[in-house]
Structure 1
Amino acid sequence: MSATILKHIAVAVLVNFIFVEGSPQWRYQCVEGTCKKFRLTPETKESAVSLPACRLFCHDKAGLWPIPSGSFRIGQTLTRLNVNSIDISGPRSDTKSHNLVTLARQRFIHAVNKIEPNGNQKAGGRSLFAHLKVTNPNVDRLELSTDEGYTLEVTESSDGRINATVVADNYFGARHGLETLSQLIIYDDIKREYQMVKDIYIQDRPHYPYRGLILDTARNFMSVDAIKRTIEGMAMSKLNTFHWHITDSHSFPYVSKSNPYLSELGAYSSKMIYDKDTVADIIEFGKVRGVRVMPEFDAPAHVGEGWQDTGYVVCFNAQPWQDYCVEPPCGQLDPTKEGMYDVIEGIYKDMIDQFNPDIFHMGGDEVAFQCWNSTNHIVEWMNERGWYNDKAGFSKLWNVFQSEALKRFDKHAKKKDTPIIMWTSSLTEKDYVHEYLPNDRYIIQIWTTRNDQHIQDLLDLGYRLILSNYDDMYLDCGFGGWVDSGNNWCSPYKGWQQIYNNSPKELAGDRANQMLGAEAALWTEQVDSTSIDSRIFPRISAMGERLWSEPNTNWRFAEERMLVHRERLVSMGINADALEPMWCSQNEGSCPIHRVR
């Protein structure tokens, strides 16, 4: 046989290898901390490493998101996993954690199967048995003081089974351990098999106890599916608080047992409501995923629709609106009306009964003194008490409301002195905050800019803070205006890199222990269920790593892992925004300017 014929045969074999049945074209090799792409040939196929496998050993902390904060050891050997032979055990059936573990097991197996949803894998492989060892199995409520740490150890038993042991104080820490374990399972498209590392040891715990997202479901209604996708994505980044801004002046979709007329009049439609069963379903969904659902009843401002027949709201839909509030429709409670406090007491009771909150958000943002000042009987009521209709006088009026509102909340609170969160406002300025909002009861949520002196004043006065500075943490920024032309008020857009670099520790300095954490915010004037995923994800995942690990590096060291994590989110049905061309994730280290290793 001639050399020419042999050459043609060799080329035919190579072409057949490359193009038949959609076989992979590339293999990867770890080069100086980056997975580099090389052509896959018949000679290299047997020892070829897939991109997911390379990431496990080449990326910092095995490509996990968020990176573990403590001890970390991962072996260098992968083994084939039988995804049809996974079992997870936990506390006994007579404990409160048992049902949570059962549901977590279902979620874990579902997530693993979503890695390769087409079922294109070889049969066989090792069985995986995970055991959750929980010290306090009857803890079933997440609180600020809850220990969310865990230890994960993976070993191979003598019978060839892979054993994973998660040790934690409670279910919530154990759940985080399962989340980490799920990220250590990959699908190798070269070998067409699931794989995992069989030698792992991780000690891990969050840096901050409060790691949240606020979602506004009043300006535009959010479907239950959209809310659940949001909570699912939060859990995948170990965020733990879904702050539910459930009512506003635009609509009142929350069905209050005590005051059902509020949603009957105030919801956008009879189908756009959150009734008792819906709320319970969302709370349970969050609990399984380690996410507390915390309600906010924002007052005394941001009320309107639903309250029309009560006589307790002033300035509702007043025009021109910019003279009375920050956006239409205006609306503010009247602190001089005794009956109004009975209504809000009923709302507090309903929310306490349903949510059983360990912390509660009373809102308190954007109270417009010009609204109260435009209402004659309020000004007269103040003058009878010798109060001027100036900032000091209206702050006293606001304190009347806040003091009575707190008293009504405490009548029904299941936990004495439940911490109350309020937004920064004129009432939280240093001239008023200590007199009206004592620091042993109130937590202040910062929405102003990072360089606002207000923050340092509150830290100096001993307040605990949650950071939501709009210059880094508002997810609705950077889109078109809706009350005017141009861009919206808080433009520009906040990229994931900016969010990642927003460190509470760096801002607070030697008072970092007063920072409970941070919370991204999505206000929904220009977003609804059709677009919510891409507004939130994967940007909020950047905050997830910052708050869990408080790494001493910037976003450049996280870029490759972030692209991987975005793929995980998409695999779970979350329509996370693309961050870069896919070429960048397949050619690591080639896209960021001035790449530093």
Structure 2
Amino acid sequence: MIILWVSLFTYLVSAIWPVPKEYKHGDTVLWISKDTSFDWAGAGDVGTLKFQSGYEYGFRMHSNTQPIVQDEQSRRRVKRTGEAPTGDEIIDNAIYATKQTIFKKNFVPWKFHPRNWTEPNAQNSTYISTVKIEVLQDDPQDIAKPLAGTIDESYALELTEGGNVSITANSSVGIVRGLVSFTQLFYEHSEGGAYTPLAPVTIFDVPVFQHRGINLDVSRNFFSVKDIERTIDAAAYNKMNRFHLHVTDAQSWPLEIPALPELSAKGAYRPELVYTAEDFANLQYYASMQGVELITEIDMPGHTSSIALSHPELIAAYNVQPDWNTYCAEPPCGTLKLNSSNVDDFLKKLFDDLLPRVLPFSSYFHTGGDEVNKNAYLKDDTVNSNDSATLQPLMQKFIDRNHDQIRAAGLTPVVWEEMLLDWNLTLGSDVLVQSWQSDEAVAQIAAKGHKVLAGNYNYWYLDCGKGQWLNFDPSVSGQNWPYEDYCAPFHNWRLVYSYDPLSGVPAEHQNLVIGGEAHMWAEQTDPMNVDRMIWPRGSAAAEILWSGAKDADGKNRSQIDAAPRLSEMRERLVARGIGAEPIQMPYCTMEGNVCQLGYHP
């Protein structure tokens, strides 16, 4: 038996994605049966557990061990109410998902072995009998909706050569992360069954960043509940813990607001392309069951043109033609009026309805604030000006009103960077600021004392490089040729992987960069291509956010090391029903380094 550090591996199948903090494995084959029991324990007496290189954390002894029966008949049903899941339910769901992944959503790893590879033989083999799970501390009440940094997601996983497994963590969510890694140790056999060739295994793992997310725009193109759930599944399997739902925009308002039913009735593309209040509750619950917090964004005051379809009196510069680009970033133009009591009344009614339905599942609410064009207020009859001196105090009042109501509802506001950097607003110290335009902006936000989310569009905008979705009048066609979009070229996985959220941020402010998100804007993405547009490039961002952009030696993470592991992660996503794009052709993954340019054996 051989013990190997994961960092020594190039093409051998040994992948855990994202790469753990510490990971050792051997080369002994163990099998796992559908009858393998998963036993877990809650909190008991406090002690201390040390693991590997001196890491230590509090733990509690076995108490109330509960064998979990994981058949379809006895599994607890997902709630359909406004109540968030408990830690016990999160673990129960994770154990069920683990067995589903190992036995029904797995793959034969032929692409990662030479052509003459022989699969392991199950005869006279050792089987894993029991997987013991220990939750080492009591979960906080907000286990399903934590503020960033309030939940410990670390875990330890040990698999002995004799087939004994333990997964320990300080929280239910940590157990979820450990079980995900556990599934990635196993492969399907072509004649049936599942095995790991990697025993013994020891892992200690902890994320570098507190906020690790995918942002999906569901307003420019509509995505079904199943599409969104599938994206949440993939995010969770990459150990992401946030799903940002950009649910309304200029083009459509697909979210049902029972107090304002006309918004979706008139603002959706079609009557059936609406997320009902029940859909919305179920999506939030579905995410939280996997340790993913769904953060809802209602973008404003810009990107609100769809409100004009039911409330034209609230919107300025609606659908200006032909020179729409003078007033907005993309058609149809329109912004909430900035000095209107009617707008205030509308937003109070909107938030009174929506925020209580968000509160059980999230600690955050995103109010947008990007790409507000000051020229639009030349057509705002409550302002009639594009002068910053006039507009800035009105925008401050607008944001203060919204954020005061959000705080009163028990939520923390999130805004795009323009509200702080372009409009020079005074934001509460609690406000989380999301950056997208540059690394310099991330540094500026942190310098102002705000927690910040990174996501530079030059790296983590997954829609870039598809070419223009606009058509060009012959009078301007020539000057816009060859019709590339503003954020071209296409951001391949290596570029995504090369991004460091801390780039350019002084050391004394880096603690304020709490994470980031990869963004999927939907002008040219719909249900037919959303999977391959996000995955596995989103996985590359997920590893940077979980493991950090630097390795243990302080060097940039190696795409040579990442490529075969990401190829394997892609196969795991495909096995889970996610249409992720391939990283390399099988010849490259089967033959090791032969596809490495400049390689000298």
TM-score bucket of the superposed structures, by smaller chain? 0.7 to 0.9
Residue 24 of structure 2, aligned match among 42, 48, 73? 73
Q: For residue 343 of structure 1, what is the aligned residue in structure 2?
A: 346
Q: For residue 383 of structure 2, what is the aligned residue in structure 1?
A: 378
SS at match of 2:400: helix
Residue 129 of structure 1 and its aligned partner are, at CA, apart by 2.1
Aligned amino acid, residue 434 of structure 2? Q
Residue 401 of structure 1, aligned match among 398, 401, 406? 398
Q: Deviations over 1:74-108 (max 9, x none)?
A: 23322222244353535468993222222212211
Residue 569 in structure 1 maps to residue 573 in structure 2:
yes
Distance in 2 separating the partners of 1:165 and 1:176: 13
Residue 323 of structure 1 and its aligned partner are, at CA, apart by 1.9
Aligned amino acid, residue 379 of structure 2? S
Q: For residue 27 of structure 1, what is the aligned residue in structure 2?
A: none
Distance in 1 separating the partners of 2:314 and 2:485: 31
Paired-residue identity, %: 27
CA contact (8 A) 2:307 2:315 kept: no
Comparing 71-80 and 529-538, the one that deviates more? 71-80
Going by fraction, where is helix more abundant, 1 or 2? 1
Q: For residues 288 and 596 of structure 1, do their structure 2 counterparts lie closer, same or farther at Cα, with a shift above 3 Å needed? A: farther
Aligned amino acid, residue 378 of structure 2? N
Comparing 312-321 and 538-547, the one that deviates more? 312-321
- 1:137-152 matches, within 5 Å, as 137=139, 139=141, 140-143=143-146, 144=148, 145-152=150-157
Residue 257 of structure 1 and its aligned partner are, at CA, apart by 2.1
Distance in 2 separating the partners of 1:490 and 1:114: 39
CA contact (8 A) 1:267 1:306 kept: no
Residue 107 in structure 1 maps to residue 58 in structure 2:
no
CA contact (8 A) 2:338 2:382 kept: no
Comparing 220-229 and 306-315, the one that deviates more? 306-315
CA contact (8 A) 1:212 1:520 kept: yes
Q: Deviations over 1:400-446 (max 9, x none)?
A: 211111223233x23xxx43221121x3227x53x5224x1222211
Residue 518 in structure 1 maps to residue 507 in structure 2:
no
Q: For residue 272 of structure 1, what is the aligned residue in structure 2?
A: 273
CA contact (8 A) 2:566 2:583 kept: no
CA contact (8 A) 2:36 2:131 kept: no
Q: For residue 154 of structure 1, what is the aligned residue in structure 2?
A: 159
Aligned amino acid, residue 168 of structure 1? A
Q: Deviations over 1:13-71 (max 9, x none)?
A: xxxxxxxxxxxxxxxxx9x8445xxxxxxxxxxxxxxxxxx423xxxxxx2111112x3
Residue 559 of structure 1, aligned match among 536, 559, 563? 563
Q: For residue 302 of structure 2, what is the aligned residue in structure 1?
A: 301
- 1:522-537 matches, within 5 Å, as 522-537=520-535
Comparing 483-492 and 261-270, the one that deviates more? 483-492
SS at match of 1:305: helix
Distance in 1 separating the partners of 2:412 and 2:194: 50
Distance in 1 separating the partners of 2:39 and 2:242: 25
Q: For residue 390 of structure 1, what is the aligned residue in structure 2?
A: 387
Residue 55 of structure 1, aligned match among 9, 13, 22? 13
Q: CA RMSD in A?
A: 2.7
Q: For residues 285 and 88 of structure 1, do their structure 2 counterparts lie closer, same or farther at Cα, with a shift above 3 Å needed? A: farther
Distance in 2 separating the partners of 1:336 and 1:191: 67
Residue 204 in structure 1 maps to residue 202 in structure 2:
no
Residue 593 in structure 1 maps to residue 597 in structure 2:
yes
Q: For residues 548 and 406 of structure 1, do their structure 2 counterparts lie closer, same or farther at Cα, with a shift above 3 Å needed? A: same
Distance in 2 separating the partners of 1:188 and 1:509: 50
CA contact (8 A) 2:212 2:516 kept: yes
Q: For residues 319 and 468 of structure 1, do their structure 2 counterparts lie closer, same or farther at Cα, with a shift above 3 Å needed? A: same
Q: TM-score, normalised by structure 2?
A: 0.81
Q: For residue 14 of structure 1, what is the aligned residue in structure 2?
A: none
CA contact (8 A) 2:232 2:243 kept: yes
Q: For residues 596 and 154 of structure 1, do their structure 2 counterparts lie closer, same or farther at Cα, with a shift above 3 Å needed? A: farther
Q: For residue 317 of structure 2, what is the aligned residue in structure 1?
A: 315
Residue 389 of structure 1 and its aligned partner are, at CA, apart by 4.2
Residue 82 in structure 1 maps to residue 43 in structure 2:
no
Residue 314 of structure 1 and its aligned partner are, at CA, apart by 1.2
Comparing 127-136 and 177-186, the one that deviates more? 127-136
Q: For residue 356 of structure 2, what is the aligned residue in structure 1?
A: 353
Give the number of aligned pairs. Answer: 520
Distance in 2 separating the partners of 1:569 and 1:239: 14
CA contact (8 A) 1:349 1:409 kept: no
CA contact (8 A) 1:83 1:194 kept: no
Q: For residues 185 and 166 of structure 1, do their structure 2 counterparts lie closer, same or farther at Cα, with a shift above 3 Å needed? A: same
Distance in 2 separating the partners of 1:596 and 1:420: 53
Q: For residue 263 of structure 1, what is the aligned residue in structure 2?
A: 264
Aligned amino acid, residue 313 of structure 1? I
Residue 210 of structure 1 and its aligned partner are, at CA, apart by 0.5
Residue 155 of structure 1 and its aligned partner are, at CA, apart by 3.0
Q: For residue 431 of structure 2, what is the aligned residue in structure 1?
A: 442
Q: Deviations over 1:324-371 (max 9, x none)?
A: 101001111012221222222233233322222212211001111100
Comparing 534-543 and 80-89, the one that deviates more? 80-89
Distance in 2 separating the partners of 1:245 and 1:446: 15
Q: For residue 254 of structure 1, what is the aligned residue in structure 2?
A: 255
CA contact (8 A) 2:86 2:144 kept: no
Q: TM-score, normalised by structure 1?
A: 0.81
Gaps of 5+ in 1: 1-29, 36-53, 57-62, 380-387
Residue 332 in structure 1 maps to residue 315 in structure 2:
no
Q: For residue 413 of structure 2, what is the aligned residue in structure 1?
A: 420
CA contact (8 A) 1:465 1:514 kept: yes
Residue 507 of structure 1, aligned match among 504, 508, 529? 504
Q: For residue 473 of structure 1, what is the aligned residue in structure 2?
A: 460
CA contact (8 A) 2:435 2:442 kept: yes
Residue 429 in structure 1 maps to residue 421 in structure 2:
yes
Q: For residue 3 of structure 2, what is the aligned residue in structure 1?
A: none
Distance in 2 separating the partners of 1:389 and 1:529: 39
Residue 365 of structure 1, aligned match among 370, 379, 399? 370
SS at match of 1:296: strand
Gaps of 5+ in 2: 1-5, 43-63, 67-75, 77-84, 109-118, 473-482, 552-556
SS at match of 1:584: helix
**Higher relative contact order by CA 8 Å / sep ≥ 6: 1 or 2?**
2
Distance in 2 separating the partners of 1:569 and 1:89: 27
Q: Deviations over 1:481-531 (max 9, x none)?
A: 121362222111001111111011333241221111111111101111111
Distance in 1 separating the partners of 2:92 and 2:431: 37
Q: For residues 410 and 449 of structure 1, do their structure 2 counterparts lie closer, same or farther at Cα, with a shift above 3 Å needed? A: closer
CA contact (8 A) 1:129 1:164 kept: yes
**Which of these two proteins has the greater Rg computed from alpha carbons?**
1
CA contact (8 A) 1:477 1:494 kept: yes
Residue 235 of structure 1 and its aligned partner are, at CA, apart by 1.1
Comparing 129-138 and 254-263, the one that deviates more? 129-138
Distance in 1 separating the partners of 2:193 and 2:339: 70
Distance in 1 separating the partners of 2:529 and 2:320: 30
SS at match of 1:395: helix
Q: For residue 38 of structure 1, what is the aligned residue in structure 2?
A: none
SS at match of 1:214: strand
SS at match of 1:505: coil
CA contact (8 A) 2:212 2:241 kept: yes
